[in-house]
């Protein structure tokens, strides 16, 4: 089943067309990688999906609903979580409190809000899921850059999204942490769809069901990893072939 699709999605910044008439479809339960050279339009594209910026033209449809004109917070409540959009960490707060904020947003019902014990339990479960439970009472700003990225992922998961968009999530992670992240994404994909912007091609080839390649604001190629690896145009534009 199609979870998200775009039709003629375009974004111009003055005389620059960063995203140019993109037709895109993402199926529910899929792990999709979005790759391309720097300046290809990847981050602008996912910012359009999440509502961080408005399109100059075109439409975004999520779960059958046209969400093109919805602001980012409304898309979050419908199940679109973009780590850079919603999860800037609060450096002076504990990891637990950071994740509590995301969980609280999801669990909020009426004016009373969630029960404190239920909120803490849900937040701890998310921290455990990303391997940060033993650091729950630590200050977020004291984390290494790589662990801050994992905290961002935890905050995204705290919203229990239908679509989780991850922008360069393995940047700053050690090889061992990257291996753990790959396992985590596979586990996340059991109950969510994942759209991943990633430059680590080992991670992309290992994780993605399908890969979308962007160049100059347009989709250059799309297909399973083996087809993308063999594509001459992709090798020319991105893989150095």
Give the neighbor-by-neighbor strand order of the sheet with 57-62. Answer: 16-27, 2-13, 57-62, 65-66
**Mean pLDDT of the region 205-210:** 96
pLDDT score of 233: 85
Residues 198, 238 contacting (CB under 8 angstroms):
no
* 3-class SS of residue 138: coil
Judged against a pLDDT cut of 70, whether residue 108 lies above it is answered with: no
Judged against a pLDDT cut of 50, whether residue 223 lies above it is answered with: yes
135 falls within a domain: no
pLDDT tens digits, one per residue of 59-69: 999 999 999 99
Q: What is the pTM of this model?
A: 0.90
Q: How confident is the model at residue 112 (pLDDT cuts 50, 70, 90)?
A: low
Full residue range of the structural domain in which residue 6 is found: 1-79+164-170+193-241
**Mean pLDDT of the region 155-171:** 92
Q: How confident is the model at residue 168 (pLDDT cuts 50, 70, 90)?
A: confident
Judged against a pLDDT cut of 80, whether residue 113 lies above it is answered with: no
235 falls within a domain: yes
17 falls within a domain: yes
Residues 192, 162 contacting (CB under 8 angstroms):
yes
Half-sphere exposure of 198 (CA within 13 A, CB side): 26
Q: Using CB atoms within 10 A of its CB, is residue 141 exposed (0-12), middle (13-18) or buried (19+)?
A: exposed
Chain-centroid distance, C-alpha 196: 6
136 falls within a domain: no
Structure tokens at 172: 């700053």
DSSP states along 162-211? SEEEEESTTTT--HHHHHHHHHHHHHHTTTSEEEEE---HHHHHHH-SEE
Q: What domain count does the chain have?
A: 1
240 falls within a domain: yes
Chain-centroid distance, C-alpha 13: 23
Name the DSSP letter for residue 40.
Answer: S
Residues 6, 61 contacting (CB under 8 angstroms):
yes
CATH number of the domain that residue 205 is part of: 3.40.50.300
Longest Cα–Cα distance in the chain: 58
Strands 31-35 and 57-62 come out as: unpaired
The rounded radius of gyration (Å) of the Cα atoms in the chain is: 18
Chain-centroid distance, C-alpha 212: 14
pLDDT score of 213: 96
In angstroms, rounded to a whole number, what is the distance separating the alpha carbons of residues 234 and 241? 8
Judged against a pLDDT cut of 80, whether residue 107 lies above it is answered with: no
Give the residue among 231, 237, 221, 219 at the shortest CA–CA distance from 8.
219
**Residue 68: other Cβ atoms inside 10 A:** 18
129 falls within a domain: no
**Mean pLDDT of the region 158-166:** 95
Mean pLDDT over all residues of the chain? Answer: 91
Q: How confident is the model at residue 219 (pLDDT cuts 50, 70, 90)?
A: very high
In angstroms, rounded to a whole number, what is the distance separating the alpha carbons of residues 53 and 111? 30
222 falls within a domain: yes
The percent of residues in the chain predicted with pLDDT above 70, rounded, is 94
229 falls within a domain: yes
pLDDT score of 85: 45
Give the residue among 10, 31, 14 at the shortest CA–CA distance from 22.
10
């Amino acid at each position: 089943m199609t979870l998200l699709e775009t039709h003629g999605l375009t974004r111009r910044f003055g005389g620059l067309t960063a995203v140019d008439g993109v037709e895109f479809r993402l199926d529910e339960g899929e792990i999709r990688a979005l790759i391309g050279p720097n300046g290809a339009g990847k981050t602008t594209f996912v910012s359009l999906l999440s509502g961080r910026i408005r399109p100059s033209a075109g439409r975004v449809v999520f779960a059958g609903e046209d969400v093109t004109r919805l602001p980012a917070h409304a898309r979050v409540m419908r199940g679109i979580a973009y780590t850079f959009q919603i999860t800037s960490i609060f450096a002076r707060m504990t990891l637990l409190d950071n994740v509590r904020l995301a969980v609280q947003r999801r669990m909020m019902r009426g004016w009373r809000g969630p029960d404190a014990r239920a909120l803490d339990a849900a937040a701890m479960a998310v921290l455990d899921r990303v391997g940060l439970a033993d650091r729950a009472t630590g200050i977020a700003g004291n984390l290494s850059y790589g662990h801050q990225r994992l905290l961002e992922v935890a905050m995204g998961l705290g919203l229990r999204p239908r679509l989780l968009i991850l922008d360069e999530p393995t940047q700053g992670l050690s090889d061992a942490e990257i291996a753990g992240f790959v396992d985590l994404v596979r586990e996340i994909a059991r109950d969510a769809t994942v759209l991943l912007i990633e430059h680590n091609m080992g991670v992309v080839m290992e994780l993605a069901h399908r890969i979308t390649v962007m160049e100059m604001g347009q989709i250059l190629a799309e297909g399973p990893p083996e087809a993308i690896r063999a594509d001459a145009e992709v090798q020319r534009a991105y893989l150095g072939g």
